[in-house]
């Protein structure tokens, strides 16, 4: 991923854009993945993933439960957490640990170590694939430590919110 592509990806997630394309690409990838791997695509799994795809903002488990209840689904915590765990295991959702919330993956179906840029004002999140972003540890550092999982969460203020503060 070039610097220009990373810039475009960050810019897109923090700006107003036609989110329908993001939604369709991820939902189609999810359905295809389930079909190709003979994974049962339940209405609850579809609904939770749909809720997470609505915006580039993370959603807490209890917010998801509330939305599920309004749509007639069971709203007991174990059910929501099982679905969220499934979506994470399949590579379609990430947990933003700093916010204790969940977000749809911007690179579904690809094994990667995400870097999240989180705007503390508007709460939107841009996901960058760490392997392609140039944010890498050198080999000497890695010789002393075996990385099992790498998730980088960067908190700040997006360009749009900075410009709103200037007004």
> What CATH architecture applies to the domain 3-165?
Orthogonal Bundle (1.10)
CB 103 within 8 A of CB 56: yes
Residues in the chain: 167
Claim: this prediction has a pTM higher than 0.75: yes
pLDDT at 113: 76
Position 152 scores a pLDDT of 84
pLDDT tens for 2-37 read 555 555 555 555 566 667 888 898 899 999 999 999
Structure tokens at 55: 């915006």
User: What residue ranges do the domains of the chain occupy?
Assistant: 3-165
Per-residue pLDDT for 53 more than 70? yes
What are 89-97's contacts with CB under 8 Å, separation 24+? 90/30, 90/33, 90/34, 90/39, 92/26, 92/29, 92/30, 92/33, 92/49, 93/49, 93/52, 94/127, 94/151, 96/58, 96/125, 96/153, 97/151, 97/153
Mean pLDDT of 41-59: 93
Residues in CB range of 110: below 8 A, 6 or more apart: 91, 129
Tens digit of each residue's pLDDT (9 = 90 or more) over 125-147: 888 876 655 555 556 656 677 77
Full 3-state SS string of 20-76: HHHHHHHHHHHHHHHHHCCCCCCHHHHHHHHHHHCCCCCECHHHHHHHHHHCCCCCC
pLDDT score of 59:
95
Residue 137: per-residue pLDDT: 56
Kindly state the helix (H) or strand (E) to which residue 96 belongs, with its residue range: strand 93-96
Q: Which residue do the tokens 């700093």 mark? A: 98
Identify the pLDDT of residue 128.
82
Return the pLDDT at 1: 46
* pLDDT, position 82: 94
């Amino acid at each position: 991923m070039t610097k220009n592509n990373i810039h475009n990806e960050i810019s897109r997630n923090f700006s107003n854009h036609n989110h329908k394309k993001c939604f369709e690409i991820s939902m189609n990838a999810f359905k295809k993945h389930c079909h190709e791997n003979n994974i049962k695509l339940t209405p609850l799994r579809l609904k939770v993933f749909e809720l997470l795809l609505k915006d580039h903002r993370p959603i807490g488990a209890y917010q998801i439960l509330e939305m599920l209840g309004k749509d007639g689904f069971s709203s007991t915590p174990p059910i929501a957490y099982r679905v969220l765990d499934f979506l994470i295991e399949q590579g379609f959702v990430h947990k933003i640990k700093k916010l204790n919330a969940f977000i749809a993956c911007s690179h579904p179906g690809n094994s990667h170590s995400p870097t999240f840029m989180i705007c503390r004002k508007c709460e939107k999140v841009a996901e960058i694939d760490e392997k392609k972003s140039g944010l890498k540890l050198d080999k000497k550092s890695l010789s002393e430590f075996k990385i099992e999982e790498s998730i980088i969460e960067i908190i700040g203020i997006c360009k749009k919110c900075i410009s709103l503060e200037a007004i």
